[in-house]
Structure 1
């Protein structure tokens, strides 16, 4: 059944009034109380008949797709022109996102490989999602939810599954005064975004077209709904907080097939769990409504690269940049990365808001002078570059930005002009990961009595692998309002007091098992994964309870409950038990996943 606009309003009104047929107060259970069972795979007894699939296809208006990966043709003929073209096209993240069978990351050594679902419902409406969820539950199928397909953990794909693909649910609507259903609050400027939209399109609608700001992701091809459910840090989170903290309301289809509105007044525990509890774990989010903030006059960037002449000089350089950050940059104006590398180079790739170019120059001048004053120890591999532009044009693909290589565009014929991405993010498209991990670094490490130990740990970690200090992915120094909003989410509270998230990763690209000439280098991958583990161990010496960010973490993390959610995990587990007691929604290292086999097919006793 399709829902027209009138039907949709009636559904929302029913949800707000708590009168849906499905009960809103579901019993709490423990996973151990659930009886063991297995999901059904193709060819096994219980797999739906062709007629059953045909009926589902009719129910969703022809949106059921029999999925076949284009990579299969590459495996069969790796030297063919078609395979060459495919491997080139995969480097376009919009091409990858528009293919139901592909994911942006193609796998992870010894962890997972991107494999397509057997069928996918390319949902155009909430009713399509309801039909898919009911079909999966009734037929005991492994269900996968894919929006942007950006998961490093492989959570948006699984062989032998039914996929709910939300890419076509990408409508964006601005609101001058939004009031969440069932609430009596002051109307706020907001934007409603379909689950399949990516941040490039959200920024175009909110910033370029409407002159506002919505807190989203730094990578423009990440799915909006997935980022919100993971917590959601962006370049300017030090000012505006997390995407989850800006969530005002969500529409979600839960495991019982009910369409629910979740906000602070209606289904408040579900609402809280959706804010950082992990994408695809509590239901299928079909739409999110986010607060729109006032847009500053300017956004800007600072870039430079510095090389040290020796390890000893490099350790001193790390000390200089950490001290400079602590004294001048840990505030709402600054975000993005300071990267330390094994080759004794330090790269600054930071952004700013609320400042003009002159003010940004003043903020960095003491550090620039310190480097320049020691030519025997350091030199600029690339000179400091500081620039600003109108904030309203930050995500617009102007001719100048395209020509200068600052902004890349979807090069497919007829592609929308709003399909833009940062060239640096292209490295993620088609990657095969060797390893990945993260750790929040508490602001207390910047104190005079602890800074030396922090710098020693950063230097020791850099002897094993490169790492980035993502200063926007820790809210120490953010305004009280942003911290308060982020505190009321399921994200690990350790991020509230962190000055940065340290991220370490290694990959090759494009690579895929079975494609001759492009197979992952497993031996090298394992060595690089070990190097990342040694680097993380150095950071854990000074931040033993540092936690990790759910979207950017180690696939093999054994203590994911504590690392991802910390003290919030028991409450999140209770939300999972209430709204998905049978575990229909499974993702690797997601809440409740410990009750299932690693592939999500078998319930554990």
Structure 2
């Protein structure tokens, strides 16, 4: 595919080289050429909080009081942040955390965004926010951006919603390809992947910018159910599905990577490709778990849907202040984990309570009987149990998820690990794990456990490139670490050391496990095995075949090397030990 604008871009680059001393145009000249080719759609990218600052990159600028007040009022709103290419849900992506002066950032106090101490006479710096962005409107925009990167050597990053905890969608000095406004949605009851002769699928095709909340609402209006993440602003086609994509329905229906049928993607070699099981099948496999921001710019993706379904729903818990009750509650959840999984339950455990759903228990009696042991326990310990049946997925999502607060704007670093089924069925492993949970609660912690593994689901494990431990696990367990908005470099180091210690402890308790890259410790040393298992070498071959120049790089993504570390805002945290 070589549209007229791409031919024009080639001509501009050739002309630049011919008219420049030594034939080497500057980065600025290359950027101007790309901007001309895209009709003036290359824009300066600014940190989300910049309107509150009167100093930007050392220059005095006008503080925008009205826009600042708007940003302050919506600082923790993911829906508001979703509108801006320079906004990230978790601000460790926006700062250059390795800056030892802790000044290469532009943040407000997320606990009190109106506090002038964060911005009064403070220099707002670009940090890790890419310097420029292009709003991707069509595949050819990405084609031209890749040609620009090949010619200029400029770095690229890809961003939809900015939900990554891992810096996948931010990079200092880069050109950002922003896909949020690719918002098409199409329901096809008889979708056949391009080039295939298979039976048709009931499917929805989503533009790369469509988020989970939008997909859920569209599916509900069309009488079907689509799987996506728990937060409404997570993008469906990006890092969610490309890293595996868990859902509270994954136990029965599989991961997002199990359910995706086709991608339209622009690969870094400049080609627009359709990837499915019948064409570009190695690329299709890689996109089903090998990581976002790695193999190309996804333009749209097509996902298998289920009929509208009733769900058993349970919200059950004990008083948070009663540590002994919480300890017993967590022990009981370990002891009943396999039985609950077989009954189709999936959801989230928050230490003293859980919210679970199941499509297999669709009567009040069946759902209540399945949870009888847990209900009996919580009633004896002053807890509550609310078990009901709701008519559709969206009715659950609206009642239990949209009504909750999804506060963002802090610096949250997740540190989870997949917990193999053996931990629940082997008496020795189970005893050690329960002892750990008891100690954690005694120390004031509330264990966080997404129950999202495809235990009941029996799809082909070889069809995806997700960490294989997903298919032999029941839980994902871990607890986030936090940097304060004004933490020093030394404080960040200490937090990471604490994370590394916690990771070592959890790994010892979960032999045969692995990590979900979207929610893993970013600083783990053995990241290739932890994130990708035995798939890494094959993923690297795929990466090199479609991105021979290494145009797409992100922290601990497939193709990342030790030589890339010095270019990262995480460089000072590489290989930190306890």
So what's the TM-score if we normalise by structure 2? 0.81
Match of 1:270 in 2: 283
Match of 2:92 in 1: 107
Aligned pairs for 1:480-495 (under 5 A) are 480-481=458-459, 484=460, 486-495=461-470
Aligned pairs for 1:511-590 (under 5 A) are 512=485, 519-520=486-487, 529-590=496-557
Deviation of 1:63 (Å): 2.6
Report the number of matched residues. 513
1:352 maps to which of 353, 358, 364: 358
Match of 1:15 in 2: none
Match of 2:341 in 1: 330
Cα distance in structure 2, aligned partners of 1:274 and 1:525:
33
SS of the residue aligned with 1:148?
A: coil
The CA deviation string for residues 281-305 of structure 1, in whole angstroms up to 9 with x for no partner, is 1111111111112232235342323
Aligned pairs for 1:208-219 (under 5 A) are 208-219=220-231
Residue 27 of structure 2 corresponds to residue 48 of structure 1: yes
Cα distance in structure 1, aligned partners of 2:344 and 2:488:
41
Cα 1:248–1:444 shift into 2, 3 Å: same
Aligned pairs for 1:108-507 (under 5 A) are 110=97, 115-206=128-219, 208-226=220-238, 227-298=240-311, 300-307=313-320, 309=322, 315-327=327-339, 329-331=340-342, 333-340=344-351, 346-354=352-360, 355-373=362-380, 378-380=381-383, 383-391=384-392, 393-394=394-395, 401=399, 406=400, 421=402, 423-424=404-405, 426-427=406-407, 429-433=408-412, 435-447=413-425, 449-450=427-428, 451-463=430-442, 465-472=445-452, 474-476=453-455, 478-481=456-459, 484=460, 486-507=461-482
Q: Is the 2:343–2:370 Cα contact (8 Å) retained in structure 1?
A: no
Cα 1:235–1:506 shift into 2, 3 Å: same
Deviation of 1:446 (Å): 1.3
Greater RCO between the two (CA within 8 Å, min separation 6)?
1
Deviation of 1:393 (Å): 3.7
Cα distance in structure 1, aligned partners of 2:562 and 2:278:
31
Deviation of 1:211 (Å): 1.2
Q: Is the 2:157–2:170 Cα contact (8 Å) retained in structure 1?
A: yes
Cα distance in structure 2, aligned partners of 1:63 and 1:280:
21
Match of 2:574 in 1: none
Cα distance in structure 1, aligned partners of 2:379 and 2:232:
35
Structure 1 gap segments, 5+ residues each: 8-44, 341-345, 408-420, 513-518
Deviation of 1:470 (Å): 1.3
Cα distance in structure 1, aligned partners of 2:327 and 2:316:
20
Q: Is the 1:63–1:123 Cα contact (8 Å) retained in structure 2?
A: no
Cα 1:598–1:356 shift into 2, 3 Å: farther
Deviation of 1:357 (Å): 3.3
Q: Is the 2:208–2:299 Cα contact (8 Å) retained in structure 1?
A: yes
Deviation of 1:139 (Å): 0.9
Cα distance in structure 2, aligned partners of 1:264 and 1:582:
26
Cα distance in structure 2, aligned partners of 1:552 and 1:178:
32
Deviation of 1:224 (Å): 1.3
Cα distance in structure 2, aligned partners of 1:547 and 1:363:
29
Cα distance in structure 2, aligned partners of 1:47 and 1:520:
37
The CA deviation string for residues 446-470 of structure 1, in whole angstroms up to 9 with x for no partner, is 1252322221132234456443121
Q: Is the 1:470–1:503 Cα contact (8 Å) retained in structure 2?
A: no
Q: Is the 2:265–2:299 Cα contact (8 Å) retained in structure 1?
A: yes
Match of 1:414 in 2: none
Cα 1:283–1:330 shift into 2, 3 Å: same
Instruction: Pick which of 589-598 and 254-263 moved more.
Output: 589-598
Q: Is the 1:300–1:357 Cα contact (8 Å) retained in structure 2?
A: no
SS of the residue aligned with 2:415?
A: strand
Match of 1:59 in 2: 37
SS of the residue aligned with 1:158?
A: coil
Cα distance in structure 1, aligned partners of 2:446 and 2:499:
9
Deviation of 1:195 (Å): 0.8
Cα distance in structure 1, aligned partners of 2:2 and 2:140:
6
Cα distance in structure 1, aligned partners of 2:258 and 2:150:
31
Cα distance in structure 2, aligned partners of 1:111 and 1:244:
33
Deviation of 1:186 (Å): 0.7
Cα distance in structure 2, aligned partners of 1:471 and 1:174:
29
Q: Is the 2:500–2:524 Cα contact (8 Å) retained in structure 1?
A: no
Structure 2 gap segments, 5+ residues each: 6-23, 56-62, 100-104, 106-126, 572-578
Cα distance in structure 1, aligned partners of 2:323 and 2:201:
54
Cα distance in structure 1, aligned partners of 2:221 and 2:421:
37
Q: Is the 1:460–1:538 Cα contact (8 Å) retained in structure 2?
A: no
Cα distance in structure 2, aligned partners of 1:128 and 1:259:
11
The CA deviation string for residues 338-367 of structure 1, in whole angstroms up to 9 with x for no partner, is 233xxxxx2222223232333222222222
SS of the residue aligned with 1:561?
A: helix
